[in-house]
Amino acid sequence: MSLLDSSRTAMPSRNRIGRFHITRELGRGTLNTVYLGHDPITDRQVAIKSFHLELSSQQRRIQERQLINEARATARLSHPHIVTIFEASIEGPETYLVMEHLEGSTLSTLLNAGHTFEFDVIAAICFKLASALDHAHRHNVVHRDIKPANIFLVDCHQPKLVDFGIARAPNRIAVHVVPTDHPNTLFCDNLLGTPNYMSPEQGSGERVDHRTDIYSLGAVLYQMLTGRTPFDAVETDTLLHLIKHKIPDPPHALNATIPKALSRIAMKAMNKQPDKRYQHAADMMLDLKRYLADGKLARRRLRTAMSTPEARHMVSCTLTPHSVLLLCCAAFSGALAMWLMLR
């Protein structure tokens, strides 16, 4: 369970967890609950993920190990687009994780509600997510569960990557006991993630590396562009078969208004063969940055063309002063939006 939307709140079922005062409940899952809390030492609001007290001893051991893995993986990382973990505890009856409180919504909530994004916004969000993955991969952390539900959007569409509970890191402890020659993947962990965004090798139980995250980010980009996942099936086995053997339609083939450059980026990231994908998240970042820069250059050229005497004469003959004012406002708004996306 990742951070839940701040709009979903309820009265807390308890008043205190550790030293933290509970303000309200943010969301509840099968195994855990997320609370909004207050740290009296640092005097700041925090989000607290606490596991249910009524879990069986076996469930508790599994969840404790998963919590330790999440804390260890994120402790290696410091990035503006990765959620910050402040504290974790498995002492006594309480098992909880304390992290920064995020105001906003998960990407999955927005997509499920039919929200659409401008293409430049999509590229900027995925650029920042690729930057977060590049940082994680450089520190030998593979998330292994990149999906819209684990992407939190705060103000001005700033993404935060959350939920590193099944991430692979050098100091990870095994959640389940498996034979030593069994590849340690999500598939071996009873398919903990949502299979729609899994790479072919991850869904097949093969050994994975950082390029599985690149595939998953490509699948997220695909859905943001088209409004649908690359593959869809009721049965998990059927879905995993499609992911491994079928090539999805390119986004621009489904919607001609989708820029071919973004379509190509998504398809390259989702190549069935890891060696033919982007080899590093930084490579995907470069193509997304190039797309954003090309759009900015095209707008600059348009402004330059419109500044010539001939263009000004044409505009003065066809536009009213009110229309000119509206165009100026639109240009300023576009420039401001681009600055906010890239800051």
pLDDT in tens, 211-230: 999 999 999 999 999 999 99
pLDDT at 186 over 60: no
Name the 3-class secondary structure at 12.
coil
Closest C-alpha among 159, 206, 156 to residue 183: 206
CA distance 248 to 270: 9
In this predicted structure, the answer to whether residue 232 has a pLDDT above a threshold of 80 is yes
Residue 337 pLDDT > 60: no
Q: How far from the centroid of its chain's Cα atoms is residue 193's Cα?
A: 14
Region of poorest pLDDT, from 14-23, 77-86, 122-131, 311-320: 311-320
Q: Which of 61-75, 281-295, 300-314, 320-334 has the lowest mean pLDDT?
A: 320-334
The pTM of the full predicted model, rounded to 2 decimals, is: 0.80
Query: Does 87 have pLDDT greater than 80?
Result: yes
The pLDDT-based confidence of 279 (bands split at 50, 70, 90) is very high
CATH topology agreement for domains 16-100 and 105-289? no
Question: Locate tokens 């909880």: which residue?
Answer: 96
> Do 298 and 247 form a contact (C-beta atoms < 8 A)?
no
Confidence of residue 265 (pLDDT cuts 50, 70, 90): very high
Which residues have C-beta within 8 Å of that of residue 153, sequence separation ≥ 6?
Answer: 104, 105, 106, 107, 110, 125, 159, 160
145 given a catalytic annotation: yes
Q: What is the pLDDT of residues 124-171, one digit of tens each?
A: 999 999 999 999 999 999 999 999 999 999 988 999 999 998 899 887
Spatial neighbors of 72 by CB under 8 A, at least 6 apart, are 169, 171, 172
DSSP structural state of residue 105:
E
Residue 216 Cα distances to 59, 84, 157, 271, 278, angstroms: 28, 22, 20, 11, 12
Contact (Cβ atoms closer than 8 angstroms) between residue 101 and residue 49: no
**Token representation of residue 238:** 């059927």
Q: Given this model, what pLDDT does residue 330 score?
A: 58
Pick the CATH number of 105-289 from 3.30.70.3270, 3.10.20.440, 3.30.2020.30, 1.10.510.10: 1.10.510.10
Domain assignments of the chain as residue spans, ordered by start: 16-100, 105-289, 307-342
Average pLDDT of the chain, as a whole number: 84
**What 3-state class would DSSP assign to 207?**
coil
**Alpha-carbon dihedral sign for residues 15, 17, 23, 28:** negative
pLDDT of res. 3: 53
State residue 54's pLDDT score: 73
CA–CA distance, 294 with 210 (Å, rounded to integer): 28
Comparing 95-99, 156-160, 260-264, 315-319, which segment has the lowest mean pLDDT?
315-319
User: What percent of the chain is modeled with pLDDT above 90?
Assistant: 59
Contact between residue 303 and residue 327 where contact means Cβ atoms under 8 Å apart: no
Top CATH class, 16-100: alpha beta
The pLDDT > 70 percentage for the chain reads 77
- Which residue in 120, 145, 163, 189 is the catalytic one? 145
